[in-house]
Structure 1
Amino acid sequence: MKKPVLQAAALVLTVALLPATTSAISAVDANTYREMEQFMSVFDRVRNDYVDQVDDADLIKGAIEGMLGSLDPHSSFLDARDFDNLRTQTDGNYGGLGLSVTLEDGAVKVIAPFKDTPADKAGVKAGDYITHINGELIYGGTLDEAVEEMRGKPGTPISITIVRPGRDKPFDVTMDRAIIDLKPVTWEVKDQVGVISINSFSSDTGADVAAAIVGIDKSLGKKPLGYVLDLRSNPGGLLDEAVSVSDVFLSRGEIVSQRGRSKSDIERYFAKSGDAAGGLPIIVLIDAGSASASEIVAGALQDHHRGLVMGERSFGKGSVQTLLPLSNDSALRLTTARYYTPAGKSVQEGGIEPDINVPQLSDPDYKTRPRFRESDLRKHLINEVKLKDEVLEEDGKDDPRFTATAEELKEQGITDFQLHYALQTIGRLGPDGLKVAMNKAARKTGKKTVVAKN
């Protein structure tokens, strides 16, 4: 079963049917066979002459991983252990820290901590490098080995050493492992506003968001002033659930399209009738950790002028991966398409630009900590519309009104400035004022107005 995912055996060769001669096709085949012969020659030399005896399966796996690694950062081979890790992360209920990590030049790099997990509460941040676990250097090992070391029995202590860009020295963070229950959706009511936090796009996320709206209404005994949809540090997930979440707030029009290699390979997803939020104002919060499925939702609501997007420019992952099973315990995760917002924009590299740039002033490191995005990944896909370097390197100028320090905000009891500002905005502007603000933002940035049609 093919499953489109938006995150991060068998060899199938597809030959395009072109108006070519038989000899030309034969020449292509001959060249391919020569390359395969060279590969088998290297394989044979290594297994017979390498200083230590090596396992054939390890050599073949390494060759597959090298082939996929030459494509882009999100195509990969999943063996039995990878499958087990994937199931564990999806099911939750494992002892760990709650981190999404990647491997960069032999170093473990944090993509984002999941909300309300030990890592999040201990202050681990996106872009941090983990160099040691319990005093042992992990540089140069595999990502699986590092993940397994970070997991363990809930309640057991663990110390990690972090190198944070912008800080002079590494520092240690000690925390206790906990059960990581990956709840995709949580909600609360603040200042008469419904705050819906989406942590991942897994099964039933769309239904959970719809249920959150019902729960907020019941909690207040009436409709809220509006909703804040918090997509910060959300690395993405299933494409279908991104469509489902968008559909909760949209009553018509295109949500997203995905386009493959062929010009005719286009699939479009549309909203069904009915807006569960009843047209109430929506503010979407994003940051550099908001990726793929999060960007689909933010882009759809932004293009349809259904929500005002606040925060920082998002991660910029505009590709779709498909899980292609190879056996009962292995699969190929292959990049098969790019996706586009309703206005026809690819977010690859550039991400979603917020309507209002709101810095996280409550984070004392926000000025010095570099943002880690898709454009920083080696061999990332290039946007078909070439982006200016300043778009990729500059997060934009913050509103000059944002001058408070983290210490001043802490004294006022404000620990999350971006959320605080979003709540204030809904309370200050109301539904009509927010619509005016969205239209102003669209005119200022030259965003294309979407004509909703099915």
Structure 2
Amino acid sequence: MKLAAYLRSAALVTAVALVPATTAGLAQVEGNAGPEFSKLFAVYQRVKASYVEPVEDEVLINGAIDGMLAALDPHSAYLDGSDLQRLETMIEGNYSGLGLSVVGEDGAVKVISPFRGSPADKAGIKAGDFITHINGDLIVGLELDEAVAQMRGPAGTSINVRIFRPGRSEPFDVDVTRGVIELEPVTWELQDGNIGHIMVNEFSRDVGADVFAAWKALQTEATGRMNGLVLDLRSNPGGSLDEAVALSDLFLTKGQIVSQRGRARGESISYDAETVWRGDMAEGLPIIVLIDAGSASASEIVAGALQDHRRAVIMGDRSFGKGSVQSLLPLGRDAALKLTTARYYTPSGHSVQEGGIKPDIMVPQLSDPDLAARAKFTMRESDLRGHLINDLGIKDEDLERDNRDDPRFQQTAEQLEEQGIEDFQLHYALETLRRTTPRAVASRSK
């Protein structure tokens, strides 16, 4: 099965106004347009006159829009109908289904990540898996919306999915019982030694306030003062830029958090500390931020800000490398454009586009039995067809260094399981904090 790296994301809109929805309208625009638009109109006329079956104007216009946006980058797209409804559902935060974040790749459905605690997560579906069949029916080649619609259904009903997992020689079947997916952007737990573990699963509305509330709850539950914090951004695909700024501002008291630079007026903006929250909510305490290849966009803004200001130690794997900003531009009541309008930069001027955020300490997820096999198929922004090029440049050898063996991390998944360690990256972060005094490197700030 050929599974080349191609990611098609949701939606955005503006150029739609250039493409009228009727033949008469096209003829009127064509008379005043340049030669490039004349090509489009000529193709439109040929298809209308000669295609083997009659084709509605709406089909051709939507196809032209999709092709126009696909030529830009993997993240610009037109949203209407079910696409827009799915986005609204995610914002509302609950639906019935499996609890997966997925994209289309070469006609197959690729899992970006299962939501923590979801039916898919409990059934063992992992990031990077490909779903090829649903209830025995091949879905390769279907539109992503059609495949997603088949996976959703009433809570309590069962579905069988066939999984192709890179690194395994044969596909396998998994039975999953659908549930009501209550998206929890922030979850938390108190670890031994009065160390907080706050998991940010996505950057939806009020994430900054939710993390603040989680920290207060941890302080209440702790037996004494808190001794450190693990901020877990693994497999977090991003979301709101404003919430990324708000979360960063919880820990920073001065300086820039992130800047964005775009071509249009108003798209070049700098976001500074002390504008959303006052003070550092964990002042004097060491912080470790966990990231991996699934940490993208808003997650990288937070990790980059805390890393550049030396407020936290970044651990895990190199992040996804999505350093662009998408704006949602409405086109009437039932459609919108998701358009890439700017690049963003960390406080030091580093663009994460392609290269991502490199951890201060590279810690592989040794507790994953498929780690070695799946590492060959890990997908990042630089693998996406048509991705934006890092305008500051990044050398291949800088990424290749990530694959060199570290003598500290040689245990197998089986050995870790015997020790009761299910999540090695989290275990390593917690053990590091337990050995770290509040005045050590992780708590330093400029």
Give distance in 2, aligned partners of 1:141 and 1:329. Answer: 23
Please give the alpha-carbon distance, in whole angstroms, between the structure 1 residues aligned to 2:387 and 2:268: 22
Percent identity (aligned): 61
CA contact (8 A) 1:71 1:379 kept: yes
Three-state SS of the structure 2 residue aligned to 1:90 is helix
2-structure distance, mates of 1:113, 1:390:
31
Alignment of 1:304-383 (within 5 A): 304-369=309-374, 370-383=377-390
Contact 1:204 1:241 in 2 (8 A): yes
Structure-2 change in CA distance of 1:391 and 1:156 (3 Å):
farther
Q: CA deviation at 1:49?
A: 2.4
Change (3 A) 1:388 1:41: same
Pair 41,159 (structure 1): closer, same or farther in 2 beyond 3 Å: same
Counterpart position of 2:142? 141
| TM-score of the superposed pair, with normalisation by structure 1 | 0.88
Q: Which residue is equivalent to 1:26?
A: none
Question: How many angstroms apart in 1 are the aligned matches of 2:180 and 2:17?
Answer: 43
**In 1, are the aligned partners of 2:264 and 2:341 still within 8 Å (CA)?**
no
Please name the residue that 2:397 is paired with.
390
Letter paired with 1:376: D
Shift of 1:411: 1.5
Maintained 8 Å contact 1:90/1:182: no
Q: Give the aligned partner of residue 244 of structure 1.
A: 246
CA–CA separation in structure 2 for the residues paired with 1:348 and 1:118: 33
1:210 maps onto 2:215 in alignment: no
Give, as a single letter, the amino acid of the residue that structure 2 aligns with 1:185: V
- Secondary structure (helix, strand or coil) at the match of 1:169 reads coil
Aligned to 1:258: 260
Q: Structure 1: how far apart are the matches of 2:284 and 2:62?
A: 52
Structure 1 stretches of 4+ with a deviation exceeding 4 A read 6-10, 29-32, 262-265
- Which residue number corresponds to residue 41 of structure 1? 42
Distance 2:329 2:420 in 1: 49
Structure 2: distance between partners of 1:208 and 1:250: 17
Query: Are 2:15 and 1:11 aligned?
Result: yes
In structure 1, distance between residues paired with 2:152 and 2:264: 42
Counterpart CA distance in 2 for 1:80 and 1:193 is: 45
**Partner of residue 18, structure 1:** none
**Residue 435 of structure 1, CA deviation:** 3.9
Q: Which amino acid aligns with 2:61?
A: I
Number of residues of Structure 1 aligned to a counterpart in Structure 2? 420
Matched, 1:129 2:130: yes
Aligned CA-pair RMSD: 2.2
Counterparts of 1:342 and 1:7 in 2: how far apart (Å)?
Answer: 29
Supply the AA of the counterpart residue of 2:432. T
1:54 aligns with 2:76: no
Superposed CA offset, 1:28-71 (max 9, x none):
x9995222233222222223322122221121111100000000
Residues 226 and 426 of structure 1 are in contact (CA less than 8 Å); yes or no, is this contact kept in structure 2? yes
Distance of 1:316 and 1:10 partners within structure 2: 26
DSSP 3-state at the match of 1:432: coil
**Of 344-353 and 221-230, the range deviating more from structure 2:** 221-230
Give me the whole-angstrom Cα distance separating, in 1, the residues matched to 2:354 and 2:126: 21
In 1: Cα distance, 2:426 partner to 2:114 partner: 18
Contact in 2 for aligned 1:126/1:372 (Cα 8 Å) = no
Q: CA deviation at 1:117?
A: 1.1
| Corresponding residue number in structure 1 for 2:202 | 200
Paired position in structure 2 for 1:154: 155
Separation in 2, partners of 1:167, 1:31: 57
| Alignment pair present for 1:231 and 2:238 | no
Which residue matches 1:301?
306
- Residue pair 2:10, 2:76 contacting (<8 A) in 1 also: no
Structure 2 CA distance, aligned partners of 1:260 and 1:126?
32
**Residue equivalent to 1:422:** 429
Give the drift of 1:262: 6.3
On the 8 A contact 1:361/1:406 being kept in 2, the answer is yes
2:81 match: 80
2:24 aligns to what? none
TM-score normalised by the chain length of structure 2? 0.89
Question: 2:3: which partner in 1?
Answer: none
Measure the CA separation in 1 of the matches of 2:315 and 2:233. 10
Bigger mean CA deviation after superposition, 351-360 or 38-47 = 38-47
2:304 partner SS: helix
* 1:352 counterpart SS class: coil
SS at match of 1:368: helix
Gapped runs of 5+ residues in structure 1? Answer: 1-5, 15-28, 439-449
